[in-house]
Structure 1
Amino acid sequence: MRLLRLPLLLLLIIAAPLPPGIGATASAPTVRLWATREGLVGRTTAAGHVIGQNDHFVALPSRSAIGKSVVITYNGKSLTAPVLDVGPWNREDAWWESGSARGRFPDLPRWVPEVWAAYENGYNGGRDATNRFVTFPSMIDLSDGVYADLGLPHADWVDVTLSWVDAPSPPPLAPADRKILKKPDPDVPTPAQAPALAHDERYFAQTGYRIDNDNIWSYFRARGQVAVFGYPVSRTFLLLGCQVQVFQRQIAQDCAGRGAGLMNVLDPDVFPYDHVNGSALPPPDPAVKAETPVVGSATYGAAIIDFVHATAPDSFEGDAVSFGKTFFGTIQDGPLSNLEVWGAPISRPRRDPANSKFVYQRFQRGIMHFDATTGLTEGLLLADYFKAIMRGRDLPPDLAGAARTSRFFGQYCTGSQHWVCRPEELPGTDLTFAFEAA
């Protein structure tokens, strides 16, 4: 028999009559729920719906809600979405009903989700109906499109109106500013401590990481070192079958049979974003791409260098942007090596509409940034943003919203198998200790 151990104050709140004006009229009730992102693009929901990119639906923990609709409100913005899946934790917990109509947990008060009682008060030993320890009390899952359209930067409290229920709105489970912290799962062994890193010439105290892979180390030294790559911001790890190390500006990879090289950070699958931290980055310009010399042509080597000279200026609208000088000064052993780092220009220079002091130019493999305040021209730290995407944290709000549908988003799960949250989306990947500095 389960013993309900709810705080006396909560029981009194639930039992007490509501003050005048609070839920006094029976209508569709609004409840406050802790919301998380479902993701799982390509999976089939309990309603038989195949989840698409930027989909719009929610999941609640009872099949009785399938086909109904809810109105979700967050920071003053509201939208309506259908219930097309069951979850996030339980599958027979219609907490909006009372007694036996509720399903598995008739002894719980109405409006109290079982996962909240388990997380907050140790109900059912702190576990859900399938004996999983409730580390994080997700009460409603939002599809990627709902999550993004509401502007959630992370899991948070939302107000949810249940259109099919006729009842007064209950008091909120917790204040809107109550922070929810993930609990350690007693069923998951504590991860071993990250291996120590040798403090030698390959170690960078600035970030606490070392370049372990010999091929990546040789490539790093031959291609401009810190000036080109930035400092390492990860250990070496396995990503999609290749040994990879993330630096501030570049991602180096060592793939079997191909040797070390650079992963294209601006590949559409990796970093397709053009609004980052309030800055509007120039998108690829089809007209510029159409003018680019054809790879493999007899005169390609000379033609592509002439194209860079003509397309990457050192002066733009009166500012000494030095895009050409930056390109040709990156590596000193020849202009084609610089092409390996930057790729060809694929946009014209463009001033940031939000900050006239900033001018950007997009290349195939990087984006140059001129700051008129300092007079400096540098490559943006795109790879550092990619690391933040993989961790699902420390992201500016605009990038956090845009990146939530990426298969790389929030994949770093400490202690999980191979430390990957959704391994089916990243085959051939092992993130164990990847972002654990010395």
Structure 2
Amino acid sequence: MNLTTLRAISPIDGRYRKISEQLADYFSEAALIKYRVYVEIEYFISLADLKLPGLEGFDSNLLPKLRSIYTDFSESDAEEIKATEKITNHDVKAVEYFIKSKFDSLSLQNYKEFIHFGLTSQDINNTAIPYSIKLALNESYYPAITTLIEKLNTLATNWANIPMLAHTHGQPASPTKLGKEFLVFAERLAIQLKNLQQISNSAKFGGATGNFNAHHIAYPKIDWVKFSNHFVNEVLGLERAQHTTQIEHYDQFAAQCDAMKRINNIIIDLDRDIWTYISKNYFKQKIKEGEIGSSAMPHKVNPIDFENAEGNAGIANALFEFFAAKLPISRLQRDLTDSTVLRNVGVPFAHSLIAISATMRGLDKIILNEDALNADLENNWAVVAEAIQTVLRREKFPNPYEALKDLTRTNTKIDAKSISNFIDGLAISETVKAELRTITPFTYTGIF
């Protein structure tokens, strides 16, 4: 099949291929097959280390050649396994047969029945898939979200001393600093990233119904729980669930989905805020030669990157929410619904990366329009009313809130002169009046 980006059904493999293509190393069909082969080979090696009867004569010098089966795994190998699957109608069994053929070529026929020994297909799937998720997080997702956090921290530093009118309920509110508002999002993302990183990559490994039935009947003197804990936790770098049915219960993966959903919600919140600041003219956008904002209105430079990010994060969240709700539920010891769902794990990862990339692209384009911020502050002197009434409270001035309310809650424009006249008329000391006159929308920005 000659699939091009123009022929792809999903924009992940089409329009956004350059952003999401790295995820093919973890979530494509070929990647899943490769990680299944990896688990099977490493499992066989771990069995050989036990010196089980039947494996005593295995030559450890052959380990590099065995591991080359997955380190040198090629697309043609994946195609060979897929061809076998057409006959077996079972994907994991096709992997087993592929490895057995490799054992034949290595003159290891006497040992090939220890491939997939005592296992069910979910022992392979429920280790291979968590392993691929771990790699995708560590090698693709974490670097991307960390870069976004670093970008926000840089902007926060650059604009640390820029006063800006705040808006609560869409109305002018006590001024803030532009840099601090970026710190809000950097801190939120950093906290949720840390939470995500602390969730274990849980895996199932225990035979047909999680009890090591086949292992125990063949070699009852082996501590299979200890063996499997070492194999999953130390060799694969995952965390083995101790009591399972045929499948992993997916509770930890559901937690990962929820954590990534929270991160995407923060990104959506950020995108909407920057979008609004652009609409208020607080930010202009870099103009790129040849780009068109509107097919009808030549003047427009639209905040499309933030809109793109919001849409992609929303798609990702819909899938993460579905995964978190569906996967932990399975009939009795197992049904097959998790299998087809897990084949789509890479989709919300991809949309999340697209959202991060679009947000980064948008942040790289924004240009601070300090004149617009200053004009908004100058036009909203009423916001210093909070400061004045608070100082008056300190001075035990009677009913200061009510006095400022009468001044500011009118349809008459409040400006510097209005505030100055109000202060002049107060029955307070000249020292306090002088203090109040230093308060402006530009200086009343708090600690940060």
TM bracket, shorter-chain basis: under 0.3
Q: TM-score, normalised by structure 2?
A: 0.20
Report which structure shows greater RCO (CA 8 Å, sep ≥6). 2
Which structure has the larger Rg over C-alpha atoms? 2
> As a proportion of its length, which structure holds more strand?
1
Q: TM-score, normalised by structure 1?
A: 0.21
